[in-house]
């Protein structure tokens, strides 16, 4: 972020909240109460924390720092879209009149929250609605964690997994993303293995991610998912214009360094675009490219957006692509498409409602 994030209680640990309470003339146990009401109960306003004295609550309500709706650091709901399969997309308002998308994806015995790390995105991937509007700013820690609390509240289920696959490029907001992962684990009780960080790749950043994760989290057990979307540099640049500054071989070299530092394998994501990158020859080239990696490829059938003429792949093409990879001993899976009737593709809901919805 270009400016310092406002002080929000969301994102603080128990010890930090104790110190914060004491800095406001309160005993330390008030910090522990704040922790319980913010994380376990999920309150969105300090006036809801009835265990605090009425006088202190009134004082806090009237002294909210610029850049926050409330000391808690919670956002406000602008819009909710629920698909027939239960996938729930939320559009959340920020105090500076921007909007964030987050998605709750239910499945058997699990609830995955897809969170955004930025408002917009600078990577300009042609198939992504988010990139059409460019980057407005990065999100603060509380704005990232808040998305998980919102999905938990709206869907009435404790999230089991979090994926950084929403709006934005997480590696361009690395400090806040790692702090958010730490918060999700320490304050909401998630395990790192339940968290996935997805990136299209930023030059010379993956080794730094590995080193910072070990230094700040103690380990790097979250899943790193690298978005390739093409088996060669020419096609990748056509789909991801910013890739011209980061050759695919350099990206893979950084992936190898990440594996060497963390001991964790890398997953690769590949959006299948009908007739463009979904043919058997593309699968063969992808298998050659990933030779030597202990990796997993996650194939993602494209969700169409209005601004581009890309089309969704035929089921037979998806099956054939999978078979080529499997025959070459590449671990592969296909991500089930969810919420196709609810603007499920990243950035679709935000763009569709941008002209009609504004934060209150």
Q: What is the DSSP track for 217-266?
A: HSS--SEEEEE--SSSHHHHHHH-GGGGGS-HHHHHHHHHHHHHHH---E
Q: Scanning the structure block, which residue is given the tokens 């265990």?
A: 51
| Cβ 349 vs Cβ 101: under 8 Å | yes
Residue 244, CA atoms < 13 Å, CB-side half-sphere: 4
Determine which one of 101, 143, 169, 187 is catalytic: 101
Q: Which structure tokens are listed for 109? A: 């015995």
Q: Scanning the structure block, which residue is given the tokens 């909007």?
A: 99
**101 an active-site residue?**
yes
- Torsion angle (degrees, nearest 10) of CA 274, 280, 285, 287: 110
Q: Is 288 helix (H, G, I), strand (E, B) or coil?
A: helix
b/e map 15-43, b = 16+ CB within 10 Å: eebbebbeeeebeeebbebbbebbbeebb
Strands (E), the chain: 76-82, 88-93, 99-107, 110-114, 118-120, 135-138, 161-164, 195-199, 223-227, 266-272, 296-301, 331-334
Catalytic center residues = 101, 346
């Amino acid at each position: 972020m270009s400016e310092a994030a406002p002080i929000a209680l969301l994102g603080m640990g128990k010890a930090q909240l104790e110190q914060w309470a004491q800095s406001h003339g309160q005993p330390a146990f008030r910090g522990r109460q704040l922790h319980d009401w913010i994380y376990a109960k999920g309150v969105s306003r300090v006036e809801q924390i009835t265990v605090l004295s009425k006088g202190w609550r009134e004082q806090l309500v009237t002294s909210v720092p610029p850049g926050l709706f409330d000391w808690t650091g919670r956002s406000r709901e602008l819009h909710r879209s629920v698909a027939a399969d239960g996938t729930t997309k939320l559009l959340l308002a920020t105090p500076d009149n921007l909007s964030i998308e987050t998605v709750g994806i239910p499945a058997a015995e699990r609830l995955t929250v897809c969170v955004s790390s930025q408002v917009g995105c600078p990577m300009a991937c042609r198939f992504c609605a988010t990139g059409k509007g460019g980057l407005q700013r990065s999100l603060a820690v509380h704005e990232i964690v808040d998305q998980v609390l919102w999905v938990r509240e709206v869907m009435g289920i404790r999230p089991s997994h979090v994926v950084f696959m929403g709006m934005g490029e997480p590696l361009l907001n690395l400090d806040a993303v790692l702090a958010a992962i730490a918060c999700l684990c320490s304050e909401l009780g998630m395990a790192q293995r339940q968290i996935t960080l997805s990136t299209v790749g930023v030059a010379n950043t993956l080794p730094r991610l590995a080193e910072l994760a070990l230094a700040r989290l103690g380990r790097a057990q979250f899943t790193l998912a690298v978005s390739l979307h093409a088996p060669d540099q020419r096609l990748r640049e056509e789909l991801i214009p910013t890739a011209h500054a980061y050759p695919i071989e350099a990206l893979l070299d950084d992936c190898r360094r990440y594996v060497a530092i963390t001991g964790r394998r890398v997953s690769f994501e590949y959006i299948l675009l009908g007739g463009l990158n979904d043919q058997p020859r593309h699968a063969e080239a992808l298998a050659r490219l990933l030779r030597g990696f202990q990796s997993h490829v996650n194939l993602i059938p494209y969700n169409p957006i209005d601004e581009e003429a890309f089309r969704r792949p035929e089921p037979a093409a998806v099956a054939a692509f999978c078979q080529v990879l499997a025959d070459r001993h590449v671990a592969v899976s296909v991500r089930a498409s969810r919420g196709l009737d609810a603007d499920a593709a990243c950035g679709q809901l935000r763009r569709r409602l941008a002209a009609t919805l504004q934060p209150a």
